[in-house]
Amino acid sequence: MAYCFITIPALDSIFPRLYLYLLASHVALVNGCLPQGEALIKAAITLLRDVPAVEGAHQHRYRPHVAAMMIADDC
């Protein structure tokens, strides 16, 4: 988690960064790392401030993943 938290900001494109924060927070929550999951979500929300109004079309190739399937349904 710490590795992800530190290395994700090194990416250039903003949307891959956002989705990676989300994926990392999924993993953190599923493994019971609540503070890390929260920190990652906070980082994603903070990063939303930097989303530009327009972006190059080539930067949009990152597609949503199926990480939501990792969340257990036994709540």
Partner 1 sequence: MIVDDDISAEIEHQVQSTAQLLLVFVSQLASQLVCMPGHPEHGPFYLVKALLQVLDEHEWDKGTITKAQINLRIVALLAAISQQKFIYGIPDSTTRAGRCLHLAIVCAAGSLTHDDDLCVAHCVVCSRAKRSPLRWRSGLPGGAARHGRQAPSGMPQHARRAAEHRCRGTLEFQAIRAFRVFMPPLADHVHHHHHHQRLQAKRLQAELAVELLNHTIAFAEVNQQSAQLISNLYELAKNCGAKPSTLEQCISFLRRYHAENPSVDDISRKLR
- Name the residues that contact partner 1, by CB under 8 A: 15, 18-19, 22, 25-26, 29-30, 32-34, 37-38, 41-42, 44-46, 48-49, 51-58, 60, 64, 68, 71-75
Nearer to partner 1, 6 or 52 (CB): 52
CA distances from 69 to 23, 31, 38, 55 (A): 11, 14, 19, 29
Nearer to partner 1, 2 or 32 (CB): 32
Please tell me whether residue 62 adopts helix, strand or coil conformation.
coil
What is the closest distance, in whole angstroms, from the C-beta atom of residue 55 to partner 1 in the complex?
5
CA distances from 4 to 9, 53, 68, 74 (A): 9, 26, 18, 27
